[in-house]
Amino acid sequence: MLLPLAGKFQGKERLKYKMLIYYITAYMIKGKKNIVLLGLVAIFIFSSGAARAQAVQSANKPARVSWFENLGFGLFIHWGVDVSLGAVISHSLAGASDEYVNKYMSELPGMFDPERFDPDQWAKLAKLAGMKYMVFTAKHHSGFCMFDTKTTSFNVMNTPFKRDIVKEVIEAFRKQGIAIGIYFSPEDFNYFWHHHIPIGRLQFPQQYPANNPDLMAYDKQQLKELLTNYGKIDILFIDGPPEGLREYAWKLNPDLVITRGAMETPEQNTPNEPLPRPWEACYTMGTDWQYKATNDPQKSGTTIINKLIEIRAKGGNFLLNVGPRPNGELQVKQEDLLREIATWNFVNGEAIYDVKPLPVVHEGNIWYTQSNDGKDIYAFIVRSSPNDWRYGTRKAFTFSRLRGTANTKVSVLGYKSELVEYKPGFDAKVYTSSTPAGLIVSAVNGQRLYTNNQWPNAVVLKIENAEFVKESQVDNRSKIDGAK
């Protein structure tokens, strides 16, 4: 009677079950009467086994979190079926008239035909800019799928383009060694429209998959396609209610790092104080996520670089967004900004990756990171203009929270500190002195990165074998006689 039940168990649990049946039978044959004790043992064995079998992963694996934190800098890509309008991605559907929704769902797919789409160029530029991971909008809130899905006809295969965008993007970035991330919205305006649910975000119970079994099954089917049809996915960004879907995604891929839905991911905002790690700040280059045809001034390269510095100093990851044009090309200004970031990161990337925050993240305009092994400290000298520590000039800095040792060495990342171009006999050496007031460093800004020497971006000092001191150890008293 008990033996057929063994088929309900797998692996070790099945073996345990068969062994238990054997021992019970043996005891009964020998006339043993302590079946109650055996029953208690069985309950113990199977309750522990069932608990393990039913255990649901509820968080990112710590080792994978550390891996993600060390990536540091990623590329966000927002691209959807409404890009041809240059309008806000998906959100124009919220509260829209029936006529607008019908027109959106029926006409816009016929306009999507990005004849200049070349994801290899995106990926090469991202690698050049120092981006270690990317996150692509596989499905935004509109419900339009940028991949070949069996769940809905509202997808990229039913457009004039007829190609699996997600597949091509993943393949291109994977070739460059960039970790693969998927953006997925559980709220699906196309689904809402077909099921007569008001189109909006988080306003009605049936918009939440946890309250809507059919929507939950629909989302799970799409997640299964995304997480099993394209090789191993590294990162998942769930932009909406994650309950149930997050756990299902981990079941499909336990090594998956879920960012939004499992960690803090502030948009267009950097916290004043460091958040508990891990966290990720998401920023646009301009004012919108998707391509915006008009009235979209872009941030300067210096602003973006300074945000990268601040976010890394505070222990976060920086996910910087681009919005490709309707024809598939990156916007010219956004490509230019990525190249300016690439120039800076080509010189200073050592200070951005595989680092952790110091207890004090900055002193005025000087920001800090520390190598994960604690051996090196990086000081980012953020400049207010090109004339703030001009090219070819020397400047002294006092790092009040650092103490030098006999083995302290300071260098300028990317610069040998031996000469300044066209200045014969110029002393470009780095000088250091450890004092009660802190570590004093005198260095020359001597690497020429712009033709007119007007490079405005941060210079980074690498400080080896120095000690960080706590506030209580800093001597801020004046050394003037009588002030002691």
Cα torsion 227, 233, 235, 237: sign? negative
Residue ending a domain, among 351, 370, 394, is 351
At 300-316, the pLDDT tens digits run 999 999 999 999 999 99
pLDDT at position 111 over 60: yes
At 356-371, the pLDDT tens digits run 999 999 999 999 999 9
Average pLDDT over residues 232-260: 98
Q: Give the separation between CA 436 and CA 275, rounded to whole angstroms.
A: 31
pLDDT at position 326 over 50: yes
Does any domain span residue 480? no
pLDDT at position 83: 98
Residue 426 belongs to domain with CATH number: 2.60.40
On whether both 379 and 333 belong to a single domain, the answer is no
pLDDT at position 55: 80
Which of 253-257, 405-409, 476-480 bottoms out in mean pLDDT, i.e. has the lowest?
476-480
pLDDT at position 431: 98
Confidence of residue 30 (pLDDT cuts 50, 70, 90): low
Residue 254 belongs to domain with CATH number: 3.20.20.80
Enter the DSSP assignment of 415. Answer: B
Does any domain span residue 72? yes
Higher pLDDT, 42 or 153: 153
On whether both 126 and 225 belong to a single domain, the answer is yes
On whether both 295 and 375 belong to a single domain, the answer is no
Residue ending a domain, among 311, 332, 351, is 351
pLDDT at position 470: 81
- Residue 48 has φ and ψ, to the nearest 5°, of -70, -40
pLDDT at position 18 over 80: no
Average pLDDT over residues 350-359: 97
pLDDT at position 54: 55
Does any domain span residue 484? no
Average pLDDT over residues 396-421: 97
Higher pLDDT, 56 or 265: 265
Confidence of residue 2 (pLDDT cuts 50, 70, 90): very low
Residue ending a domain, among 328, 351, 374, is 351
pLDDT at position 479: 38
Does any domain span residue 289? yes
Confidence of residue 338 (pLDDT cuts 50, 70, 90): very high
On whether both 126 and 249 belong to a single domain, the answer is yes
Higher pLDDT, 213 or 36: 213
Q: Give the separation between CA 318 and CA 63, rounded to whole angstroms.
A: 20
On whether both 372 and 453 belong to a single domain, the answer is yes
On whether both 306 and 429 belong to a single domain, the answer is no
Report whether 180 contacts 173 (CB < 8 A). Answer: yes
Q: Is 269 exposed, middle or buried (0-12, 13-18, 19+ CB in 10 A)?
A: exposed
The tokens describing 260, both together, are: 């939004």
- pLDDT, averaged across the chain: 90
pLDDT at position 473: 53
* Residue owning tokens 């597949």: 167
On whether both 227 and 289 belong to a single domain, the answer is yes
Average pLDDT over residues 113-139: 98
119 Cβ contact list (under 8 Å, min separation 6): 168, 169, 171, 172, 173
Q: Could you list the residue range(s) of the whole structural domain that residue 30 is in?
A: 3-54
On whether both 86 and 44 belong to a single domain, the answer is no
Does any domain span residue 118? yes
265 Cβ contact list (under 8 Å, min separation 6): 237, 259, 279, 280, 281, 282, 319
**What are the helix and strand counts (H, E) for the chain?**
11, 18
On whether both 68 and 153 belong to a single domain, the answer is yes
- Residue 321 has φ and ψ, to the nearest 5°, of -95, 145
> How many Cβ atoms are within 10 Å of 421's Cβ, its own excluded?
11
Does any domain span residue 482? no
On whether both 44 and 67 belong to a single domain, the answer is no
Higher pLDDT, 106 or 484: 106
**Burial readout 149-179 (b: 16 or more C-beta within 10 A, e: otherwise):** bebbebbbbebebeebbbbbbbbbbbebebb
The tokens describing 404, both together, are: 């030098």
Q: How many domains does the chain have?
A: 3
> How many Cβ atoms are within 10 Å of 426's Cβ, its own excluded?
14
pLDDT at position 14 over 80: no
On whether both 385 and 295 belong to a single domain, the answer is no
On whether both 185 and 300 belong to a single domain, the answer is yes
Does any domain span residue 231? yes
For 159-171, give the DSSP string: SSS-S-HHHHHHH
pLDDT at position 395: 98
Average pLDDT over residues 29-40: 48
Does any domain span residue 481? no
